[in-house]
Amino acid sequence: MIGGKGGINDKKKPTSRSSRAGLQFPVGRIHRLLKSRVTANGRVGATAAVYTAAILEYLTAEVKRITPRHLQLAIRGDEELDTLIKATIAGGGVIPHIHKSLINKMQPLLGAPGAPPPVEKLIK
């Protein structure tokens, strides 16, 4: 060591890649999981994990709370998920459905454009 008051105490605290990128999602963990899934000898670029973490954070930014009702509507609305998950979801409620025969066919008003003429005019 040459002069100065530095020395052993000059070591900086390591900063995570998440904090460097300004993200909340764990970039290191995502990088590790990407490497475990790739077939090309585990070679994944360093920025791939940062981009993936940023995308995941962006997609989940607006989601505040997921309720059982949200899960029920999402699962029953998708045909493949519905066949996969046959379980009853507690607090999920029921799926809104009105049978076609119960729906009233609304008749157009007599004065509206495109409405049929009154019966009296047809007789004369």
What is the pLDDT at residue 2? 63
Q: How far apart are CA 114 and CA 110, in angstroms?
A: 9
Q: What is the pLDDT of residue 90?
A: 92
- As a whole number of angstroms, the distance between CA 51 and CA 27 comes to 9
Taking each continuous run of H as one helix and of E as one strand, the counts in the chain are 6, 0
* pLDDT per position as a tens digit, 50-108: 998 998 888 888 777 878 998 899 889 888 888 888 888 899 999 888 888 888 776 55
Where in the sequence of the chain do the CATH 1.10.20.10 domains occur? 17-64
The mean per-residue pLDDT over the stretch 4-13 comes to 70
**What are 17-41's pLDDT values in tens digits?**
989 999 999 999 999 988 888 777 8
Q: What is the pLDDT of residue 85?
A: 83
CA proximity to 18, closest of 67, 68, 54, 63: 54
Contact 82, 76 (CB under 8 A): yes
Which of 116 and 99 is assigned the larger pLDDT?
99
What is the homologous superfamily of the domain 17-64 according to CATH?
Histone, subunit A (1.10.20.10)
